[in-house]
Amino acid sequence: MHAIEVRDLVKRFGDRTVVDHVSMDVAEGEISGFLGPNGSGKTTTIRIMCGLLTADAGEGHVLGHDLRTDNRIIKREVGYMTQRFSFYEDLSIEENLTFVARIYALRPTHDYVRRTLDELGLTSRRNQLAGTLSGGWKQRLALAACIMHKPRLLLLDEPTAGVDPKARREFWDEIHRLTADGLTVLVSTHYMDEAERCHRIHYISYGKLLASGSISDVVARAGLHTWVLEGPAAGRAAQMLQDTAGVDQIAPFGALVHVVGVDRERLKQAVEAAVRATGVAAQEGETSLEDVFIHFMRGSKDNMQ
Output the domain CATH number for residue 234: 3.30.70.2250
For residue 88, what is the domain's CATH number? Answer: 3.40.50.300
Report CA 192 to chain centroid distance, whole Å: 9
Same domain, 169 and 255: no
For 155-179, what is each residue's pLDDT tens digit? Answer: 999 998 878 888 899 999 999 999 9
Same domain, 145 and 22: yes
Interval 231-251 mean pLDDT: 93
Same domain, 275 and 249: yes
pLDDT band at 198 (very low <50, low <70, confident <90, very high): very high
Same domain, 22 and 161: yes
pLDDT at 160: 87
Residue 294 inside a domain? The answer is no
pLDDT at 83: 84
Residue 300 inside a domain? The answer is no
Interval 281-298 mean pLDDT: 91
Same domain, 197 and 233: no
Among residues 218, 247, 265, the one where a domain terminates is 218
Among residues 188, 218, 248, the one where a domain terminates is 218
Is 269:246 a contact under the CB 8 Å cutoff? yes
Residue 156 inside a domain? The answer is yes
pLDDT at 300: 64
Same domain, 131 and 258: no
Same domain, 65 and 212: yes
Q: How many domains does the chain have?
A: 2
Interval 192-201 mean pLDDT: 93
For the chain, the average pLDDT equals 93
For 11-52, what is each residue's pLDDT tens digit? Answer: 999 999 999 999 999 999 999 999 988 888 999 999 999 999
pLDDT at 1: 83
Same domain, 203 and 93: yes
Residue 204 inside a domain? The answer is yes
pLDDT band at 240 (very low <50, low <70, confident <90, very high): very high
Whether residue 254 has pLDDT greater than 90? no
Residue 291 inside a domain? The answer is no
pLDDT at 37: 87
- pTM of structure: 0.90
Residue 271 inside a domain? The answer is yes
Domain range holding 98? 2-218
Residue 201 inside a domain? The answer is yes
Same domain, 232 and 140: no
pLDDT band at 85 (very low <50, low <70, confident <90, very high): confident
Same domain, 243 and 208: no
Same domain, 214 and 234: no
Residue 304 inside a domain? The answer is no
Same domain, 36 and 111: yes
Tell me the one-letter amino acid at 183. Answer: L
pLDDT at 257: 94
pLDDT at 301: 61
Among residues 162, 191, 218, the one where a domain terminates is 218
CA–CA distance, 160 with 156 (Å, rounded to integer):
9
